[in-house]
Every structure is written in C-alpha cells, then in structure tokens.
Amino acid sequence: MCQERCPSTDVSMPDGIFIPYLYPMQKVEHIGIAVRSLEASIPVYEKLLDSPCYKRERVEGERVDTAFFRQGETKIELLEGLDPDGVIASFIEKRGEGMHHIAFDTSDIRAEMRRLREAGFRLLSEEPRPGADGKWVCFLHPKDTAGVLVELCQDRNGQDISDLT
C-alpha cells in the first residue's frame, strides 16, 4: 500500500523489512504575507500578536526583505519586495496586500520534492534554494494547488546544498 503511494521514497531493507516513507510534509512552519512596507506592517503585527518581530533578513536570491514573528509553533513571515516590478510587487498589484504563501516543514526536502514531482505537482525550482531564517526552500506552482503558493522548507543547520540527500 505504502509502496504504491510513494515508491521512490520508501526504503526497502534487506531481509524483507520494509520501512515506510519517513519524511512527509510536517507542520505548517510559517505563513507568508506580502506587504507594501515592513516599516508600516511590523508594528501592526507586533500589536496584533503581542509579540516582537524577532528577525529581519534580506534574501537577495528572492529579492525580498523579510520580518519574522513566532506564534507558538508557527511563524508569520512578512515580505516586502526589493524591486518595483518583482514578484511581491506584482502580487500586491494584482491581489493587494495579503496572504502570499503557506510553508510546510519537512525533514528531507529533496525526498518531498521527488514525491510531489512524481505526484504531478510542478516545482518552481529544480533544486532547493537558500531561503530566509536558515531554511532550504522550494515552491510549488500555485496553479496545481488551488491558487495557493506552497513552500517546502527544511532547516539548513549550516549545511551546504551538497549535504542534502
């Protein structure tokens, strides 16, 4: 049964012992919210959550400035685009400020990317990329997920891309 579900990621051991796939998408790690201005939105979210912004970080590769809040196990990531014609700016132009993506934690992002690719989802990058807050990330095409941009993430723990399985 499980072998049918995820043949490439299940592990068959010698002696016929079968270990089911171990790395499904886990909890919601964070929710990304597109904003016009971090300066304007950080105090609003600090007031809303009654919790300080614990990190601001520029992610050059994604051309965004980010700000993070921790709420229990889940984080909120505010995103401001660095370019007037970048992905965040064009998202806000089309849909206004608001929920931009939902990110799921995984302990093996490559295995999840394989599983999802085989299940017919399109990935927006072939390889995991360095994201904010010490993560490897990969996004799924929102047309395959009812219009919601889904992000997979995995703690980098100082690992290089070649260290990922």
Q: In whole angstroms, what is the distance from residue 118 CA to residue 124 CA?
A: 14
Q: How many Å separate Cα 106 from the centre of its chain?
A: 9
Interaction between residue 103 and Zn ion (CB under 5 A): yes
Q: In whole angstroms, what is the distance from residue 12 CA to residue 155 CA?
A: 26
Shortest Cβ 36–Zn ion spacing (Å): 18
Which two tokens mark 80?
A: 């401001």
Task: Select 103 or 111, whichever has its Cβ closest to Zn ion.
Answer: 103
Task: Select 112 or 151, whichever has its Cβ closest to Zn ion.
Answer: 151
Binding residue for Zn ion (CB under 5 A) from 21, 32, 59, 108? 32
Q: In whole angstroms, what is the distance from residue 99 CA to residue 117 CA?
A: 25
Shortest Cβ 1–Zn ion spacing (Å): 33
Q: Which residue lies nearest Zn ion, judged by its C-beta?
A: 32
Task: Select 10 or 145, whichever has its Cβ closest to Zn ion.
Answer: 145
